[in-house]
Amino acid sequence: MTVTTENPDVSTPKSRHPVLEILDVSKSFAVRDGFRTRSLSAVDHVSLSVDEGTTLGIVGESGCGKSTLARIIVGLHTASNGEIIFDGKQISTTGKRDRAAVEQMQMVFQDPSSALNPRATISESIAFPLRVQGVAADEIDRRVAKVMADVGLPSNYAGNYPHQLSGGQRQRVNIARALALQPKLIVLDEAVSALDKSIQAQVLNLLEDLQEEYGLTYVFISHDLNVIEYISDRIAVMYLGQVVESGAASDLYEHPLHPYTQLLFSSIPNLDPDESRRDDPEAVDAGEIPSPLNPPSGCRFRTRCSFAHDRCASEAPVQVEVSAGHAVACHLYPEGGARDLVEFLPGVSEQ
Amino acid sequence: MTTLLLQQGPLAGSAPTNESKVEAERLREAWLAQEESVRSQSFWKETGRRFLANKVGVGAAAVVLLLVLAAIFAPLITSHDPLVGNPADRLLGVFSGGHILGTDEQGRDMFARIVYGGRLSLVAGFVPTLVAALIGTAIGVTAGMVGGLIGSGLMRAMDVLYAFPAILLAIAVGASLGPGLTNTVIAVTIVFIPPVARVAESATRRVVSREYIEAARLTGASRIRIARSQVLPNVLNDIIVYSSGLVGVAMITAASLSFLGLGSPPPAPEWGYMLNSMRGALYVEPLVAMIPGIFIFLASVAFNMASDALREAMDSRL
């Protein structure tokens, strides 16, 4: 499977500085289960960084904690542990953030309909962030007009209500609203998942154009592998709250290292049956995703992994940088060199 | 292999080239030239504009206003005494002997009693409804937005009051405060606050879970601002539907209290009390006996229709 990323020269991080650094962030929720209160580990010791002007794609199944992570970044949830450094300054993960930090980071939500106030016209929805920041009235008009033109919404839609617009148009309104405050970073939580495929393509192209014009940084969260492949410069793969692999997009697609990543990519339907990865040994999925209330000990993926061995149950793997910018958390790749995968196949291994 | 669709050429909304920059500039100018009504208008201004365009609503509001004005300017409208009458003239029919609406069982002019009674009944009907709607909304929206222990605490306090049958609670409050119109109003208001708070709280919880509230939090807006501009417009619909039905109930409750001697004591021309005291006259002069009921009905229905029109004005979909 060959892939071309949009800007191959962007994948070298040395030329850009990181706009967002997530350091060892964890989040657990107290969940009531009958009479007991149990701890749901939604995000577990996640560390990521995003360079300015690039897109970090975060991919994983439903329930892997990517939406929670998105909300922690933006400040809608507090983090139980860890730090976030935005634009060189540490920002609060637990309490109120200062206004500048709030303005610089915006979010585009998944459901275009529920993300808009049904009782407000779309120009009112877009203008609201500007009103809150105390921008002058005529300046608000100017900026709303500019941002609507940027996302390709005709000016006569300004007085319309959300229910009068199509899904794709509503998502453009959401993007326009996110742009209104001229942020540095936009987190997109499944921003195209609710749209038809052809509209998805339009919106993704729009996002790329906006990124180029305004030098925006994106954190793009999705469960759709094709979308992630298209839009990301770097990708992080999450499973049950942990980052299992991260690296440049092309690197990950050509050489997926973690068994979970390989499992994910083998599930992408392939037009050419000869190229299909479905029947590869790594692609065998041994079970259902475990509950985040009670994750497996040691490596959380071991219950579904073809290569699981004794060490996986007793010890949690750490992130190891296997090649430039490409890191994996798996016992198959311990510190000090990768192992031959063949050793771990069931029936072949003697360990 | 990438999905074929994604490899198509530039589609709508792609790169701002030079031509599209000129186009954007043109769009911007066209937008700024739009009429004021199309540009960002606050929810309240839009609502006001639409309400005034609804003839039925304006008509109903006019009827309510008429009743209120008649009550306020009663001495100017009629010269008859509402409290003292000539027993010899009792139960005259409509339009007889100089009495437009006839006389009651003690010979008092009906029309005078109705307009002066408006001061008591309309106050007893509208004021508790409006005040309870305000206070109940404030409590419910606060409880819904704050949530947690405080929210639950508030709602459980409301439940304690709600558990009492309304009329008993009104009697209890009325009895402890004493007779009179003001105390009637206070009693009925207290009775109405818990149900309104419940409606407000459940509507608020429904609204607060939606993503546009999260988006509003991202702008750095204070919670009060979010409550006012995002939550309230979406919650008012349910509250108004519920509250407007309360006007008639308020009037009848006030009438019950008067009957028990806890409201405005006789000979005060309170409509509900008159409705009750003229039951016996129903076989003698049915039309005159029904008049207080007609006015309670009129006030209640007109208020309901006006608030329906208000709800329609608030709903952009209609």
Q: Which of A74, A109, A119 to mutate to test the interface with B (most CBs of B within 10 A)?
A: A119
Rounded Cα distance, A221 and A67, in Å: 7
Q: Which of A220, A185, A214 is nearest to A89 (CA)?
A: A185
DSSP state of A339: P
Interface of A with B in 80-109 (CB under 8 A): 99, 102-103, 105-107, 109
Instruction: Phi first, then psi: give them for residue B238, nearest 5 degrees.
Output: -60, -40
More confident residue, A30 or B39: A30
Token pair, residue A310, equals 């004794």
Judged by average pLDDT, the poorest of A34-43, A338-347, B19-28 is A338-347
Number of neighbours of residue A145 by Cβ within 10 angstroms? 24
Q: Which residues contact B286 (CB under 8 A, 6 or more apart)?
A: none
Distance from CA of B215 to the nearest CA of A (A): 7
Upper half-sphere CA count for residue A197 (Cβ side, 13 Å): 8
Domains of chain B: total: 1
A158-189 pLDDT per residue, tens? 888 898 899 899 999 999 999 998 999 999 99
Residue A339 pLDDT:
54
Residue B234 lies in a domain: yes
A156 and B38 within 8 Å at the Cβ level: the answer is yes
Alpha-carbon span A130 to A152, nearest angstrom: 20
Each residue's pLDDT tens digit, A186-237: 999 999 988 888 889 999 999 999 999 999 999 999 988 889 989 999 999 9
The ranges assigned to domains in chain A are 16-243, 255-344
Question: pLDDT by residue (tens digit) across A276-327?
Answer: 666 665 555 656 778 777 888 888 888 888 787 888 888 888 888 888 888 8
| HSE, side-chain direction, 13 A CA sphere, residue B283 | 1
Please state, in angstroms and as integers, the Cα–Cα distance from residue A12 to each residue in A212, A219, A247, B4, B24, following that order: 17, 17, 11, 27, 34
Nearest beta carbon to residue B13 from set A109, A152, A159: A152
DSSP conformation class of B3: -
pTM value > 0.90: no
Residue B301 predicted with pLDDT over 80: yes
The answer as to whether B3 is a domain residue is no
The CATH number of whichever domain residue B189 belongs to comes to 1.10.3720.10
Domain range for B306: 96-314
Residue A218, classed as helix, strand or coil, is strand
State whether residue B1 sits within 8 Å of chain A by CB: yes
The strand pair at A185-189 and A217-222 is best described as parallel
* CATH code reported for the domain at A16-243: 3.40.50.300
pLDDT at residue number A311: 82
Of B10, B43, B225, nearest to A119 by CB-CB distance is B43
Please give the residue that has the higher pLDDT: either A12 or B278.
B278
| Strand A36-51 to A18-33 pairing | antiparallel
Query: What tokens appear for A180 in the block?
Result: 């209104």
Pure H helices in A48-194 = 66-74, 99-104, 122-132, 137-150, 167-180
Q: Identify whether the C-beta of residue A124 lies closer than 8 Å to the C-beta of residue B43.
A: yes
Distance, CA of A131 to CA of A137 (rounded, Å): 8
Residue B29 lies in a domain: no
Do residues B293 and B101 lie in contact, with contact meaning Cβ atoms separated by under 8 Å? no
Is residue B161 over pLDDT 50? yes
pLDDT bracket for residue A345 (50, 70, 90):
low
Residue pLDDT, tens place only, B121-153: 888 888 999 999 999 999 999 999 998 899 999
Q: Which residues of B touch A156 (CB under 8 A)?
A: 34, 38
Per-residue confidence (pLDDT) for residue A155, from 0 to 100: 84
Please give, rounded to a whole number of angstroms, the shortest distance from the CA of A299 to a CA of chain B: 31
Measured between CA atoms, the residue of chain A closest to residue B236 is: A119
Can you read off the two tokens belonging to residue A308?
A: 């699981």
Chain A hits for B316, Cβ within 8 Å? 118-119, 121, 161, 163
| DSSP annotation string for A49-80 | EEETT-EEEEE--TTSSHHHHHHHHHTSS--S
B11 at the A interface (CB within 8 A)? Answer: yes
* Contacts of A5 by beta carbon, 8 Å cutoff, 6+ apart: A11, A232, A233, A248, A249, A250
Q: What is the 3-state secondary structure (H, E, C) of B266-294?
A: CCCCCHHHHHHHCCHHHHCCHHHHHHHHH
Structural tokens at position B14 = 């792609």
For chain B positions 16-45, those within 8 Å of chain A (CB to CB) are 16, 23-24, 27-28, 30-32, 34, 37-43
- At B307 the three-state DSSP class reads helix
Whole-angstrom Cα distance, residue B69 to residue B61?
12
Confidence of residue B244 (pLDDT cuts 50, 70, 90): confident
Which has the closest alpha carbon to A108: B215, B213, B15, B217?
A: B215
Give percent above pLDDT 70 in chain B: 86
Q: In this structure, are residues A253 and A7 in contact, taking their beta carbons and an 8 Å threshold?
A: no
Residue B81 within a domain = no
